[in-house]
């Protein structure tokens, strides 16, 4: 947005100077028109300089030199008001202060040109300066408020991270606890129970086995029929060797047996497993 | 292009002049080495076309990368192995250049791959899919000894780099974190960068002593 603004200002300046040169009779009409066209194209040429920290001041100096020259040559002091637009086209604070100094020098030049009796121009400049200072003040106020809000939202984000981490843990804790209680009261089918445990405990396999009629429900990778005998006999070592896994958790719950199988590593907080064991 | 800027930045800040730049049909790879040795520890940062520096999700891993480069250069270079930083860009699948680079080096020469995606966002969890049992035990020990508040997670969605390669992969995911996709770069926090870099360095020190 700002880039187009800069182009637009330079275009307006050179177009105005060309129009002034055509409308009024000056001695050096053609050179002034050529100079304005050159001024616009030099901005396009020097545009990459604006991204540099030091070189961009060359562009600004050329701008103010051109305005100063035009004011001096044409005796039209109102053309110097373009320097105010240039001040408003920059973004950083330091640039604005430097351009304000440049602007004041142009203002002094144009006052000198009219012998310090042009009061309309004086008031126009005072008005513009007042609006620039107001803009500054508003900007500073906005920035301080923005920073305050940013700090606040950073703190909220930090708290949110801690809380959501704890929430995740307690959610799992509650789900597992509730599922076990419901299974004991037979409110929940074994298939659903297995599903909940598989989701919350990150197991490779969850098996729940009814000892009386040997019906079982299983979820996961190691759902083989021939491991049921190991479970009924309580032979954990045999089961480990059969499946080639490192961790097997076996829990007797009356008629039911619950088996959790982890291949190489217990991928859940130990506190969650303590609910079951 | 972000890779060009990064190259310039690294050159200016750390004096890294020998940065290799390789382009292929769909992607581009930027890599440089710190330290000497036959074996590699790969630090990767895969980038795809969604990369946007104004978002926290993409700018923080870059900060983590710069901070780890700074520590390796200014504080202590690795001994016995070399660190290779690999920043890759691919339009379709961001992991493609990484995988082809791994096969170029040779799988047996890579000690571990540290994936820096999603680091520095807060609530980092170690993805344990790509780690072996001994490394996991050492991580448990580090976490106990140093009081790092960092969890572990097992990914079942198949997005992680560990699913695509069969080497050891240390990677992180920021979970649970519902705002990670929308937060802007202003939420940058130096503490989180230091924390995760500290963990990675402790891990490398303990595991590959």
Chain A, 80 to 139: residues with Cβ < 8 Å from chain B are none
Give the per-residue pLDDT at A145. Answer: 97
**Chain B residues touching A198 at Cβ < 8 A:** none
Q: Closest CB to A202: pick one of B123, B154, B177.
A: B154
What residues contact residue B33 under an 8 Å CB cut-off, 6+ apart? B82, B83, B84, B85
**Chain A residues touching B123 at Cβ < 8 A:** 161, 164-165
A177 and A83 part of one domain: no
Under 8 Å between Cβ of B32 and B16: yes
The proportion of chain B whose per-residue pLDDT surpasses 90, expressed as a percent, equals 34
| Digit-coded pLDDT (tens) for A173-220 | 999 999 989 988 989 888 899 999 988 888 888 988 888 888 888 888
Top residue of B12, B120, B122 to mutate, by most chain A CBs within 10 Å, is B122
Domain ranges of chain B: 2-207
Q: Closest CB to B187: pick one of A154, A168, A267.
A: A154
The CATH number covering residue A268 comes to 3.30.450
Residue A256: domain span:
169-276
A106 and A210 part of one domain: no
Under 8 Å between Cβ of A120 and A150: no
| Mean of the per-residue pLDDT values of chain A | 88
Interface check B187 vs A, CB under 8 A: yes
> Is the CB of B176 less than 8 angstroms away from the CB of A164?
yes
Structural domain count of chain A: 2
The rounded distance, in Å, linking the Cα atoms of B130 and B64 is 21
Give the nearest chain A residue to B135 (CA atoms).
A265
Q: Looking at the predicted structure, is the pLDDT value of residue A229 above 90?
A: no
Q: Which of A78, A94, A117 is the last residue of a domain?
A: A117
**Chain A residues touching B157 at Cβ < 8 A:** none
Task: Give B74 to chain A, closest Cα distance, Å.
Answer: 28
Top residue of A165, A262, A266 to mutate, by most chain B CBs within 10 Å, is A165
Domain assignment present for A148: no
Matching CATH number, B2-207, of 3.40.50.300, 3.90.25.10, 3.40.630.10, 3.40.640.10: 3.40.630.10
Interface check B129 vs A, CB under 8 A: no
Give the nearest chain A residue to B192 (CA atoms).
A158
A107 and A184 part of one domain: no
**Chain A residues touching B133 at Cβ < 8 A:** 246, 264-265
Q: Closest CB to B189: pick one of A154, A164, A202.
A: A154
Q: Looking at residues B68-72, what average pLDDT do you find?
A: 92
Q: Closest CB to B176: pick one of A157, A168, A267.
A: A168
A82 and A177 part of one domain: no
For chain A, the distance separating the N- and C-terminal CA atoms, rounded to the nearest angstrom, is: 65
Interface check B179 vs A, CB under 8 A: yes
| Exposure class string for B121-152: b at 16+ Cβ within 10 A, else e | bbbbbbbbbbbeeebbebbeebbeeeebebeb
Q: Looking at the predicted structure, is the pLDDT value of residue B159 above 90?
A: no
Angle between helices A56-74 and A93-113 (to 10 degrees): 10
Give the per-residue pLDDT at B55. Answer: 92
The rounded distance, in Å, linking the Cα atoms of A172 and A166 is 10
For chain B, the distance separating the N- and C-terminal CA atoms, rounded to the nearest angstrom, is: 38
Under 8 Å between Cβ of A9 and A86: yes
Q: Which helix (H) or strand (E) holds B34?
A: strand B27-34
**Count helices and strands in chain B by DSSP H and E runs:** 5, 8
* C-alpha angle B192-A272-B181 in degrees, rounded to nearest 5: 35
Give the per-residue pLDDT at A2. Answer: 57
Domain assignment present for A155: no
Task: Give A60 to chain B, closest Cα distance, Å.
Answer: 27
Under 8 Å between Cβ of B161 and B118: no
Q: Looking at the predicted structure, is the pLDDT value of residue A39 above 90?
A: yes
A113 and A186 part of one domain: no
Domain assignment present for A88: yes
Q: Looking at the predicted structure, is the pLDDT value of residue A277 above 80?
A: no
Give the nearest chain A residue to B154 (CA atoms).
A267
Q: Give me the half-sphere count of Cα atoms (radius 13 Å) on the Cβ side of residue A207.
A: 28
Which 8-state DSSP code applies to residue B184?
B
Domain assignment present for A138: no
Interface check B177 vs A, CB under 8 A: yes
Q: Looking at the predicted structure, is the pLDDT value of residue A246 above 90?
A: no
Give the per-residue pLDDT at B196. Answer: 93
A87 and A183 part of one domain: no
Under 8 Å between Cβ of B199 and B143: no
**Chain A residues touching B153 at Cβ < 8 A:** 267
Question: Exposed (0-12), middle (13-18) or buried (19+): which is B201, by Cβ within 10 Å?
Answer: middle
Q: Closest CB to B179: pick one of A157, A168, A264.
A: A157
| Exposure class string for A35-53: b at 16+ Cβ within 10 A, else e | bbeebbeebeeeeebbeee
What residues contact residue A190 under an 8 Å CB cut-off, 6+ apart? A183, A208, A210, A217, A256
How many beta-carbon pairs under 8 angstroms link A with B?
35
Interface check B12 vs A, CB under 8 A: no
Q: Which of A74, A102, A117 is the last residue of a domain?
A: A117
Give the per-residue pLDDT at B70. Answer: 92
Q: Looking at residues B144-172, what average pLDDT do you find?
A: 85
Please state, in angstroms and as integers, the Cα–Cα distance from residue B170 to each residue in A253, B84, B136, following that order.
39, 15, 10
The proportion of chain B whose per-residue pLDDT surpasses 70, expressed as a percent, equals 100
| Digit-coded pLDDT (tens) for A104-144 | 999 888 888 888 777 888 888 899 889 888 988 998 999 99
> Is the CB of A153 less than 8 angstroms away from the CB of B152?
no
What residues contact residue B54 under an 8 Å CB cut-off, 6+ apart? B184, B185
Q: Looking at the predicted structure, is the pLDDT value of residue B10 above 70?
A: yes
Give the per-residue pLDDT at A251. Answer: 85
- Which of A59-63, B97-101, B205-209 has the lowest average pLDDT? B205-209
The rounded distance, in Å, linking the Cα atoms of B30 and B1 is 13
> Is the CB of A265 less than 8 angstroms away from the CB of B151?
no
The proportion of chain A whose per-residue pLDDT surpasses 90, expressed as a percent, equals 32
Q: Looking at residues B106-132, what average pLDDT do you find?
A: 90
**Chain A residues touching B187 at Cβ < 8 A:** 153-154, 157
Q: In what order do the strands lie in the sheet with B27-34?
A: B20-23, B27-34, B82-90, B40-47, B110-115, B169-174, B124-127, B151-153
Residue closest to A111 by CA, chosen among A119, A103, A100: A119
Q: Which of A52, A86, A117 is the last residue of a domain?
A: A117
Give the per-residue pLDDT at A151. Answer: 94
The rounded distance, in Å, linking the Cα atoms of A55 and A48 is 9
> Is the CB of A167 less than 8 angstroms away from the CB of B122?
no
Give the per-residue pLDDT at A1. Answer: 53
């Amino acid at each position: 947005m700002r880039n187009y603004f800069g182009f637009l200002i330079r275009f307006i300046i050179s177009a105005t100077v060309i129009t002034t040169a055509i409308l009024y009779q000056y001695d050096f009409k053609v050179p002034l028109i050529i100079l304005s066209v050159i001024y616009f194209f030099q901005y396009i040429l020097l545009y990459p300089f604006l991204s540099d920290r030091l070189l961009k001041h060359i562009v600004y100096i050329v701008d103010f030199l051109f305005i100063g020259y035009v004011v001096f040559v044409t005796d039209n002091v109102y053309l110097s008001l373009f320097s105010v637009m240039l001040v408003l086209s920059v973004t950083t604070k330091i640039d604005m202060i430097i351009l304000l100094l440049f602007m004041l020098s142009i203002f002094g030049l144009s006052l000198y040109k009219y012998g310090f009796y042009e009061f309309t121009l004086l008031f126009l400049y005072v008005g513009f300066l007042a609006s620039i200072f107001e803009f500054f003040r508003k900007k500073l106020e906005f920035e301080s408020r923005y920073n305050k809000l940013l700090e606040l939202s950073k703190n909220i984000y930090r708290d949110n991270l801690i809380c959501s981490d704890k929430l995740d843990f307690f959610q799992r804790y509650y789900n597992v606890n509730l599922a076990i209680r419901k299974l004991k009261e037979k409110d929940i089918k074994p298939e659903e129970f297995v599903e909940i445990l598989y989701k919350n405990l990150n197991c490779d396999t969850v098996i729940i086995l009814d000892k009386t009629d040997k019906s079982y429900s299983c979820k996961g990778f190691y759902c083989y029929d021939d491991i049921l005998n190991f479970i009924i006999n309580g032979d954990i070592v045999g089961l480990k060797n059969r499946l080639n896994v490192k961790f097997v958790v076996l829990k007797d719950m009356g008629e039911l047996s619950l088996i959790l199988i982890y291949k190489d590593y217990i991928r859940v907080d130990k506190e969650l497993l303590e609910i079951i064991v | 292009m972000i890779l060009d800027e990064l190259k310039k930045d690294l050159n200016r800040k750390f004096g890294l002049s020998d940065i290799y730049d390789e382009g292929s049909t769909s992607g581009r790879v930027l890599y440089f080495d710190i330290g000497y040795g036959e074996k590699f520890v790969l630090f990767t940062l895969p980038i795809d076309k969604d990369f946007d520096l104004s978002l926290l999700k993409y700018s923080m891993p870059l900060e983590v990368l710069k901070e780890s480069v700074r520590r390796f250069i200014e504080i202590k270079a690795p001994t016995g192995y070399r660190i290779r930083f690999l920043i890759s860009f691919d339009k379709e699948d961001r992991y493609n250049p990484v995988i082809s680079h791994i096969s170029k080096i040779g799988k047996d020469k890579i000690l571990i791959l540290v994936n820096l995606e999603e680091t520095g966002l807060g609530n980092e969890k170690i993805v344990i899919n790509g780690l072996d049992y001994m490394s996991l035990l050492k991580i448990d020990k580090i976490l106990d000894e140093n009081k790092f508040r960092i969890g572990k997670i097992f990914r079942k969605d198949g997005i992680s780099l560990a699913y695509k390669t069969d080497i050891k992969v240390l990677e992180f995911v920021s979970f649970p974190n519902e705002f990670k996709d929308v937060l802007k770069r202003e939420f940058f926090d130096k503490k989180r960068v230091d924390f995760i870099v500290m963990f990675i360095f402790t891990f490398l020190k303990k595991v590959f002593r």
